[in-house]
Structure 1
Amino acid sequence: MTTKIILDTDPGIDDAMAILFAEASPAIELVGLTTIYGNADIDTSTRNALYLKQRFGFQCDVAKGATQPLKREPVGASVAVHGENGFGDVPIEPPTISADSRPAHQYIIEMLKASPGEITLVAVGPLTNLALALEQAPEITKLVKEVVIMGGAFGTHEHTGNVTPFAEANVHDDPHAADIVFTADWPVTVVGLDVTHEAFFSTDYIDTLRDTCGEVGEFMWDISRFYLDFYKTRMGVDGCFVHDPSAIAYVIDPDLFEVRKGPIRVVCEGPAEGLTLQKYKDTGHKTDEWANYPPQNVAVSVNDQALLDLYLDAITSYSD
């Protein structure tokens, strides 16, 4: 059975890897791409989503999203990681197709209302679009099938943050939106650094994508040069962690992951801004800012080899 998804994304090198994974997998029907600032500004993110749609023949919609966080000052695009154009500064032809006329949050609302219980929201960037949708139409919590988020870091395996000592980039970019999304009464699974730092695309693995996966593999190899240089320079590793594609892998096969259940809150200001905290022990406290919120899933372990095999199999079949 296929799962319909709307993928909220800030393309982005690993976003492109996730988008192509979703399009390639027979287990997923990619309904729409909603764009958000993050790895690039909103205009660049939207252009990149349209470029992927046009180049690889996607049938999905593309809707342009929010330009900035709900409350905090914007932190700016991740140019050091993704390059000025979001795709590792690999030249791309400007797309000749246009985005949907609806803003991303309105698109999300209308699509969920049109197909109640059928669509999973997958968010791999800052969560502003989802928060805006919730604020405008809180009833969508009863219309979504599931919400899967790449974001956050909960300290499992000592993975605590990547843009600050204790914050992951997507949550840090808009912590107020993340807190709204995590505490809403809908089913959320957070696929954060706890597991994305446990899976690794080695340089040899990405070479295999190039050599065996046709134009798609060549494109991913090209845009990953800048990304891999960042990882090599900053972390001394030959490859990259599997961030955004891990959220897609969860949708395809949740059994690849072990999850822990409990309500989640986000620190929204101060030196720990963007810190994600899950109450996973059933204990009572005099003061408890978690107690009245729904339990959500946090992925805490992953079968990394099976995830890598799943990704390679999907992209290989897609390119045949």
Structure 2
Amino acid sequence: MHKIIGLFAALWLAAVLSCGPAHAEAAKRKVIIDDEGFALVHLMLLESDRIDVIGITSVSGNTWANRATAMALRGVEIAHRPDVPVVQGATYPLLNSEALTERWEALYGKLTWKGAWMKTWVEPTVQSDPVYYGPNDPVDLPQGNPKIKASPEIAANFLIRMVHQYPGQITIVACGPLTNLALAQRLDPQFASLVGELVYMGGSFNPHQVLNNVSAAEFAREYANSPRREFNARFDPEAASIVSRSPWPKLVVIPADPSTATQLTLDLLKRLEKAATPDIGKFIATMEPGFPLWDEIAAGYVLDPRIVTGAEDLYVDYNTQFGPGYGDTLSWREHYQPGLGEQKAHVVRAIDPKRLEAVMVKALAEGVKRGD
């Protein structure tokens, strides 16, 4: 009997020790963020107790890659996470260009948002006017320029190296055009298969206006005549198609659809500012309200998949023919896909906005508890 009691005691002690700090650290989910700047999506993942951000890669999209890199570097400084490497990625899409986009608009009509190529709004809007930069213009950030430097590595090479170092363990959260991921896959055909999960914000299926205010209506109205068009995919359709045909063990698509039920309101900004550390709170206070929570849904899904209230498994690809549907989302249910390599994706169609907001606040509060 004493031997049995002793055995149980030893097993109990081993279980307790296995739940110690080293085990908790090892259990954190490894994440690489691939994006075109620095915003709440980064802060949610950097501050969460359950996430180990092992790198941030930049890409051109909303702005050019050099500016996105500087924003990410300044962001990790503000978050007191200079240990997180920031690696600059692709400056240009694989084939698309500013000149091609202007030609497309002359033939098929104006795009609502062109990212780095945007010079002015097509019509009056409640949002701030865009500021146009060239791809090699000097960067001078309003929140101050970073003192730390980017990694000398190229983003695609960094991604390949990381997935080989941690096979099957890394979640990539991509919230910009998919150029870096497409380049990595073309350089190393094993790349996608070594990723644990890819969660990307991109594509559009059939969004509808949910919120009844001027700002929300402006964003939702874009989809009335172009329900399959979304900026990230439209900026680099060829990259989006390559990624759609790559062998990811798990692929989750966060399209524009659930974003129309969300908004970065002044109230939410104040709650996030209050929950965060003082330095992060000051940074949040400078953010412009009114935008949907596009990228934050992707981070929210990684932190708590229970935010999802509607989803569907579909085969997804993107139109790479230079015509009126260039960059549009293509999708099929089982048995109807053309069978050209397109992969089945878990497509998030609807979320619980209140639960997402709670996840955002909780993630920022966890950084305060750690004393970041």
Same-fold call, TM cutoff 0.5? yes
2:310 is equivalent to residue 261 of structure 1: no
Equivalent residues of 1:162, 1:169 under 8 A apart: no
Q: Residue in 2 aligned with 1:232?
A: none
Preserved contact between residue 178 and residue 233 of structure 2 (Cα < 8 Å): yes
TM-score by length of 2: 0.74
**One-letter code of the match for 2:66?**
D
Aligned to 1:193: 256
1:21 to 44, 60, 64: 44
Q: What is the RMSD of the two structures over their aligned residues, measured on CA atoms?
A: 2.5
2:352 to 274, 283, 303: 303
How far apart, CA to CA, are the structure 1 residues paired with 2:255 and 2:148?
A: 33
Deviations 1:85-129 (A, max 9, x none): 99xx97222212111111000000001001101111111001000
CA contact (8 A) 2:206 2:223 kept: no
Q: 1:150, 1:191 within 8 Å by CA — same for their partners in 2?
A: yes
The match for 1:92 is: 143
Partner of 2:235: 173
What's the offset of the Cα at 1:317?
3.1
Cα distance change of structure 1 residues 85 and 47 upon mapping to structure 2, 3 Å threshold:
farther
Distance, in Å, in 2 between the alignment partners of 1:47 and 1:205 is 26
Q: How far off is 1:240 after superposition?
A: 2.3
Distance 1:220-1:202 versus aligned 2 partners, 3 A rule: same
Tell me whether 1:151 sits opposite 2:202 in the alignment.
yes
Does the CA-based 8 Å contact 2:167-2:195 persist in structure 1? yes
Residue 163 of structure 1 contacts residue 169 of structure 1 at CA under 8 Å; is this kept in 2?
A: no
CA shift for structure 1 position 200:
2.2
With the length of structure 1 as denominator, give the TM-score of the two structures.
Answer: 0.85
Instruction: Identify unmatched segments of 5+ residues in structure 1.
Output: 229-238
How many residues are treated as equivalent by the alignment?
A: 298
Offset at 1:141?
Answer: 2.0
Aligned to 2:279: 215
Partner of 1:64: 88
Counterpart check, 1:251 vs 2:302: yes
Q: Distance in 2 between matches of 1:31 and 1:8?
A: 11
Query: Which stretches in structure 2 are left out of the alignment for 5+ residues?
Result: 1-26, 99-113, 121-126, 134-139, 210-219
Separation in 1 of the partners of 2:268 and 2:42? Answer: 18
Structure 2 equivalent of residue 8 of structure 1:
34
Matches within 5 A, 1:106-121: 106-121=157-172
How big is each residue's C-alpha offset from its partner over 1:182-240, in whole Å with a ceiling of 9 and x where there is no partner? 12111211111111222222221112223443331221121x23xx3xxxxxxxxxx32
AA in 2 matched with 1:31: I
* 193-202 vs 64-73, which moves further: 193-202
How far, CA to CA, are the matches of 2:242 and 2:52 in structure 1? Answer: 27
Tell which has more relative contact order, 1 or 2 (C-alpha 8 A, sep 6+).
1
Contact 2:246 2:341 in 1 (8 A): no
Separation in structure 2 between the aligned mates of residue 60 and residue 70 of structure 1, nearest angstrom: 27
Between structure 1 and structure 2, the one with the greater Rg is 2
Q: Which amino acid aligns with 2:355?
A: A
